[in-house]
Amino acid sequence: MLVDLVLAILHHLLVFSLFAILAVELVWLKRDLSLPGLQRVGRLDMIYGAVAGAVLVVGILRVFFGLKGYEYYVSSHSFWAKMAAFAVVGLLSIPPTLQMIRWRKRAEAEPGWLPSAPEVAGARRYLHIEAAVFLLILVFAAAMARGY
């Protein structure tokens, strides 16, 4: 029972941290991005990926070692909807991550270069959609916890 509690606490802390990181990334990724700002957002994006990986690992541990058991999760439509939403969030995070990597490389190769406002707006659009889909994860988690 203690393992289940620890995994649940860790999972919730990681999920809320992940959303907070996404929110900060949206705030920091702005039209008038400077080189230090670009580097800072890039580092934050790497942390976002690491935390997302930790969410996945702890979530898998909850499936196998949690009190509800494997059968509860795999037979739950809400669980699979939550997993699908998490996968969509992950897929949506790829284009802005790749864009930030390209921006960083170009800024290092061409001193003084910064991404244009439309480029930044495009990356932000992905992050906004990502945040909206992320909210579905919370909806499906609440439904799953209530047996739906």
6-62 tens-digit pLDDT:
999 999 999 999 999 999 999 999 878 888 999 999 999 999 999 999 999 999 999
Q: What integer is the mean pLDDT of 63-83?
A: 95
| pLDDT at residue 33 in the model | 87
CB-CB contact of 52 with 79 (8 Å): no
* 27: Cα separation from own chain's centroid: 15
| pLDDT at residue 141 in the model | 96
- Six token digits for residue 19: 């959303």
Q: What integer is the mean pLDDT of 54-83?
A: 96
CB-CB contact of 6 with 114 (8 Å): no
- Six token digits for residue 4: 């289940």
- What percent helix, strand, coil does the chain show, rounded to 5? 85, 0, 15
| pLDDT at residue 90 in the model | 98
pTM above 0.95, yes or no: no
DSSP 112: T
- Residue 1, pLDDT > 90, answer no
